[in-house]
Amino acid sequence: MKRSLGAKPLGLPAPVWVVGSYSPDGSPAIMVVSWGGICCSTPPCVAISIDKTRFSHANIIEHRAFTVNVPSRRHLIATDYLGLVSGATVDKFSATGLTAVKSDTVQAPFVKEFPLVFECRLLQSIDIGSHTQFIGQIMDVKADEAVLDDRGNPVAGKVSPLISSAGDRSYYALGEYLEQAYVPGMALMAEIAAKNGTNEPEPGALAPGEAAPTGTGRRADLQRAGRKSHHEKEMTYAT
Ligand SMILES: Cc1cc2nc3c(=O)[nH]c(=O)nc-3n(C[C@H](O)[C@H](O)[C@H](O)COP(=O)(O)O)c2cc1C
């Protein structure tokens, strides 16, 4: 039996991201957000929600740009501080000893010490209520070599991002590695297909790079027509 908790913004898990922007006098500003996530593949976009009273809010509108910086576990104390004090009264870069670096592609600073950075140009602003949702088109991703795998992709275990839990007002670290994405789901799809007596799993059920199917079904139809299923496009992007 579930207990109703009422209408509350209790998203879980939530990221702990640090948003960089330039203030009106050109000095670099940073704040913490937990309300955000990747929101589009093409163009690659990220959405963050910022309270209208925050110092950073007007900065993003003014310069039509922001960065999203992903701190590691070792940056927890400085990051928490960035979410407690306002750039209206404090220079948070000098207070924490973090270094502001000018982005290559947009008018916003990134944090040199954090391992993963997204440079974003403001694409859309949505006035929701207390918060404005800023949708930023990702113009570049910058990552420390140390957090990349041998294919040049950032690895969660190496980035070691923080996780925020709004309900208990707490930070958590990343848990253990579990499984390659799509593998257990595809095994279940094959099991369900076998149970239903169909020879071929449903569209998108095959691994990236796997041989094209010769049988019937929507996925085979799409491939014969030279098109990819939506799921395949997502997998191409994600791998
Ligand atoms: C873990 C954590 C998550 C936060 N998430 C958000 C958020 O998603 N949106 C927001 O407007 N403020 C959020 N805040 C609060 C701001 O980071 C905080 O008010 C900050 O001081 C604003 O800085 P500024 O006034 O210099 O822009 C969060 C704070 C913490 C500690």
CB atoms within 10 A of CB 173: 11
- How do residues 74-118 score in pLDDT, each as one tens digit? 999 999 999 999 999 999 999 999 999 999 999 999 999 999 999
Question: Residue with the nearest Cα to atom 29 of ligand 1?
Answer: 83
CA angle 141, 133, 155 (to 5 degrees): 30
Classify residue 98 as left (phi > 0), alpha (psi -120 to 50) or beta. Answer: beta
- How do residues 196-223 score in pLDDT, each as one tens digit? 998 666 555 454 445 444 444 545 444 4
Proportion of the chain above pLDDT 70, given as a percent: 83
Residues with CB under 6 A from ligand 1: 16, 29, 31-35, 49-51, 54-56, 80, 83-88, 164
Strand partners, 22: 28
- How do residues 108-159 score in pLDDT, each as one tens digit? 999 999 999 999 999 999 999 999 999 999 999 999 999 999 999 999 999 9
Query: CA separation (Å) from 22 to 34, 55, 103, 144, 228?
Result: 20, 10, 11, 23, 41
Q: Can you give the pTM of this predicted structure? A: 0.86
- Bridge-based pairing of strands 17-22 and 14-15 is unpaired
Specify the ligand 1 atom closest to the Cα of 50.
11
Q: Where are the alpha helices (DSSP H) in 38-160?
A: 55-63, 76-82, 92-96, 156-159
Rounded Cα distance, 120 and 38, in Å:
12
Ligand 1 centroid–CA 125 distance in Å is 18
Ligand 1 centroid–CA 84 distance in Å is 7
Q: Where are the alpha helices (DSSP H) in the chain?
A: 55-63, 76-82, 92-96, 156-159, 183-196, 218-224, 230-238
Ligand 1 centroid–CA 86 distance in Å is 9
- In the chain, what are the domains? 14-173 (2.30.110.10), 183-238 (no CATH)
- Most informative mutation of 18, 19, 31 for ligand 1 (most atoms within 8 A of CB): 31
In the DSSP assignment, the letter for residue 66 is: E
Ligand 1 centroid–CA 140 distance in Å is 24
Residue 182: closest CA among 236, 105, 219: 236
Could you tell me which residues come within 8 angstroms of residue 199 by beta carbon, excluding any fewer than 6 positions away? 193, 215
Question: Residue with the nearest Cα to atom 10 of ligand 1?
Answer: 50
